Amino acid sequence: MVVQGGEVADQWGDFDKKIDCYSIRKSLLSALYGIYSAEGVIDVNQTLEQLGIDDSPDPLTKEEKQARVVDLLRARSGVYHKVDFETGCMQKSRPARGSQPPGTFWYYNNWDFNVLGTIFEKKTGMKIGDAFYQLISPVPNLSVRPLLSAAFSIINLAYIAVSAAFLSWELNGAVRQQSSVIRT
């Protein structure tokens, strides 16, 4: 689906079929962080140590605890813990713990985004799914509102507890739903 100026310019395929959004969750969570950071609810310069964030059963090192929220948002935390749903490629390319200080090296790491979900809910008192629905899906002042009201019933969010100290969370939604959030 191609949406330009709030209008569907072209579409093909089953654009109402829900699919796993995987990495799109990171962009949507970043949008929420932008809102709450601008409102002063979340300070993106706080460290994991200041926020009382630690991992279990393998605790964070003193240096890892110096990663700031903004480092996690940029996938530059310097925390290289094994995480649930890590692909084989991610396992092979994961840097050794302690090899990079926070903020200096980009590594696509689901640990960062699982922890960001925990921090978000702790700081705002809102569930991520509720925040998406209230702050992102309504978008009342944009020309895409008709698309949203017709198709954005809320991108489904599920929390998954496997073995990590921080819940993994995943989104799924239809292309039409995602096009309502990703605008030209």
Domain residue ranges of the chain, discontinuous segments joined by +: 2-181
**DSSP secondary structure of 127-168:** -HHHHIIIIIS--TTSTTHHHHHHH-S--EEEEE-SSSSS-E
Residue 177 binned pLDDT confidence (cut-offs 50, 70, 90):
very low
State which H helix or E strand residue 114 sits in.
Answer: helix 110-124
pLDDT above 90 for 29: no
Which pLDDT tens digit goes with each residue over 70-104? 999 999 999 998 887 778 888 899 999 999 999 99
Q: How far is CA 183 from CA 4, 7, 10, 178, in A?
A: 7, 10, 14, 9
Tell me the angle at which helices 24-38 and 110-124 cross, rounded to the nearest 10 degrees: 30
Which pLDDT tens digit goes with each residue over 111-138? 898 899 899 999 999 988 788 777 766 5
Task: Return the higher-pLDDT residue of 3 and 174.
Answer: 3
The token duo for 65 is 């605890």
Highest mean pLDDT: which of 119-133, 143-157, 167-181?
119-133
CATH of domain 2-181: 3.40.710.10
Q: What is the mean pLDDT of residues 52-56?
A: 91
